[in-house]
A and B are shown apart, each in its own frame.
Chain A
Amino acid sequence: MQQLAYIGRRLIQLIPVLIGISIISFLLVKLSPGDPIRLLLGPRATDDAVAAVRITYGLDEPLLKQYFIYLGNLLAGDLGRSLRYRIPVSDLIVQFLPRTLFLIAYVMSLTLPLTIGLAIVAARHQGRWLDQVIRIFSILGMTIPVFWLAVLMARYFGAELGWFPVSGWGSGFMSHLHHLFLPALSTSLWLIPLLVRNLRGALIEQMESDYVVASRAKGLPESYIFRRHILRNSLLPTLHLLGVMIAFLVGGSVIVEIVYAVPGLGALMVGSVIGRDFYVVQGLTLVYAIGTVLVTLTVDMLTAVIDPRTSA
């Protein structure tokens, strides 16, 4: 009950955030240099033609009214039309989004088991050589830039050995897995070290906590204490970091998508920015922002489920 009330409260708090997002994405186009109408009609359009189109698009209205029109369209699911592709922006996003989501899910399914495994090994061997090896590789992973690693892996595993394709995303589930392996791996290799260090620290802290001693005094087996008490308590801080990282990945997938030519949201974003495709940029900004909000919300809800104290 308490948890439901907490989640309800959390959802209500989303309303001002979403309004803020809509205002910013609206102003983004208004404030950026260049006139979308001129871009649409081409350089040789007459001023009269521009003015006429301006009226049909409602761009002569006061700013506040324009915002409410924009908001109304948003609620109806209308994000405008792409100037370049000449199709609704929403269709475009629906087409590109699954690839990025697939990539993120792939990254996570590689990252999570490795993170938990490595962190547990490091924490249990605290200060011994296995811990040191993991530490050294963690530092390496954190310092090597993703784009460089991506290029390097594409060259070696893709071009040299020919194990994996270096571009596109294939057709069919297995083919997706095959195509996206290198992009997912190079992102994971950057993500895992951060999470491992975070989780290792939390595990070590919890291993020394009082309730562990109390559990031992009751004669509970070590493996059970670790699984049921230590791990659970350690996961919370890492879960929060993971939330931030996933939110970051939604935008951060740009680099890998470009390097491996994966036709996802990141690639679309870069193409639209370069091509001055205003409404696509606006729509994507909205999608990124809402994505971030949803991830944070999910993390908060998971936390509320795991930790009864948060909803108290």
Chain B
Amino acid sequence: MNDLLTVENLNVDFLSGLMRVEAVRNVSFTVAPSEILGIVGESGSGKSVSCRAVLGLLPGHARVNGRIIYDGKDLGAMSANELSLTRGRDISMIFQNPSSHLDPLMTIGDHVAEPLHYHFGLDKKNARIKALELLDVVKIQNPEQRYTAYPHELSGGMKQRVLIASALACQPRMLLADEPTTALDVTVQASILELLKSLNRDHGLSMIFVSHDLGVIAEICDRVVVMRGGEIVEQGSVNQVVGNPQHEYTRLLIGSQPGRLDSYNQPSHEGHALLEIEQLSVRFNDKGGLGTLLGGRSRAVNALDNININIRSGETFGIVGESGSGKSTIARAVVRLIEATSGAIVFQGKLVGDLKGLDLVEYRRQVQMIFQNPYDSLNPRASVRQTIAEPIWRHGLATQQDANERAIELMAMVELSENLANRRPRQLSGGQCQRVAIARALALSPRLLIADEVTSALDVTIQAQVLKLLARLKDSQDLTIIYISHDLAVVRKFCDRVAVLRHGKLIETGLTDKVFDQPANDYTRTLIDAAPELDSALLNAAAL
């Protein structure tokens, strides 16, 4: 068999201070023509580094060893000049965050035209004609009009299409895709995956598809490489690896996929109403001050439009939606980080908007929030124990001394070892930080816990642990949880009832199983179909 790309014994280390830190060890894999190879792994597994090493895109302080053979040519032995002739022409690459990978000062047309100019020597006019064709191939509507648009005028999905068009401009035979859909909404992700699949099918484009999401990998890849801690743990066809994992870590990874988790939802729950959101609207006005007064455009955004939700005591209520749907705005309105423009929020019979002084403090004690990024929401200078104890004595519930002792109990409750008590956030992993944030929220014995994308920044194996912890705490602490997430698979397993939001409007609400199995609204169905899921992806692959 003639492989298009062969990577043999790839080792990469980075100079960090005086130390050399190994990032990739003894990695070997091959990609056949027209094949899509998946590389799956969690953060720090070395999947991106391996990918960048192939194209020589690592920063100067990286040391790369090993053989990288593309179509008989040894990329590792090439001079910088020869390598830049190979890039874009033979192998190209697309990246995770399309916004930051496009020059904000260059039109999208020029982004696509510039490699044509450099590799093929096309003049401006011909490069433009070719670039327009490419924009059409990646399904940018009205390419003529969009040609002179700047990146900030496009949506995330559009930007990724532009990035793909500019990477494929010179018809490379291989594309390295480094988490190309991770920053995108699920429906957009589905369309980008479809585009990549069609490029593979129609043009025979080989691909290395790097992702942390096994569901996405199963959807698009033929074979998969599982990486962990800079090493390859296992590789083989997707069916074989998922169906019959040989390595313990692979089994853990597969078992942590949201679709394979135990279901925590208890749809029969009938508690009294704890929180009622009635006709809630939030408008953001762009207060331009003098500028608006003097002819500037004033913009008002309807972040939330007439939302009605009842949350019952003791249930887990999911709020799902894509970016900009207003799901976080609900949470912020409930804890009064922002004020409602109209409508009412009623907590245990009291109007939240009217609370003042001590009543407001008491309300905020009973309603606690956990945020997406655990590092950003913890004070970097405070130790774990101080972080957890602070709200207790600040609210006057105990003396500082007692609060410190209570903090240790709370650490045990969220399964944090006591000897982490004096660590600072940067000495902890993401999962540990999120546990600290949960313990801090529970320190005040709240009635209602609002979890805003709490597992989105975590690896799947850690996500599985945190979800399990939250489910256990919910029962033992008699909590009501509002779980906000873009991840439908997680919501399905975790929440009793669910509300679907889009552009600030409530699309559908109901029991989770019912909404997922028989969605009443087309948008809900689109959203569910678009969400990548390991088992359904495998079934689809088998059917083909």
Contact = CB atoms under 8 A, between A and B. Distances in A.
Given A9-B296, A218-B167, A309 B150 contact: yes
A312 B84 contact: no
A221 B103 contact: no
B120 to A, nearest CB: 11
A62 interface: no
**Interface-centre pick from A208, A218, A221, A228 (highest chain B CB count, 10 A):** A218
A214 B97 CA distance: 11
B41 interface: no
Given A233-B103, A233-B104, A309-B152, A217 B295 contact: no
A48 to B, nearest CB: 49
11 contacts: A12-B294, A213-B57, A216-B84, A217-B87, A217-B92, A218-B115, A221-B118, A222-B80, A229-B106, A307-B104, A312-B152
Contact of A210 (B88, B101, B296): B101
A223 to B, nearest CB: 11
A173 interface: no
A217 B57 contact: yes
Interface in A218-254: 218-222, 224, 228-229, 232-233
B93 interface: yes
A219 B294 contact: no
Interface string B304-334: 0000000000000000000000000000000
A137 B86 CA distance: 41
A217 to B, nearest CB: 4
Interface string B88-109: 1100110101001111111000
Contact of A13 (B85, B101, B163, B291): B291
B170 interface: yes
Interface residues of A, number: 30
Nearest to A211: B103
A266 B101 CA distance: 48
B152 A308 contact: yes
A218 B97 CA distance: 16
A220 B88 contact: yes
Contacts of A12: 294-295
B96 to A, nearest CB: 9
A307 B84 CA distance: 29
B150 A217 contact: no
Contacts of A220: 84, 88, 114-115, 118
A210 B169 CA distance: 19
B19 interface: no
A210 B342 CA distance: 42
Contact of A9 (B57, B80, B163, B291): B291
Given A217-B92, A221-B118, A9 B105 contact: no
A214 B95 contact: yes
B89 A13 contact: no
Given A210-B100, A229-B106, A309-B150, A216 B57 contact: yes
A219 B118 contact: yes
Nearest to A16: B290
A209 interface: yes
A156 B86 CA distance: 57
B119 interface: yes
Contact of A219 (B59, B85, B163): B85
A59 B163 CA distance: 69
**Interface-centre pick from B59, B88, B105, B295 (highest chain A CB count, 10 A):** B105
Interface in B198-255: none
Given A219-B84, A219-B85, A220-B118, A210 B97 contact: yes
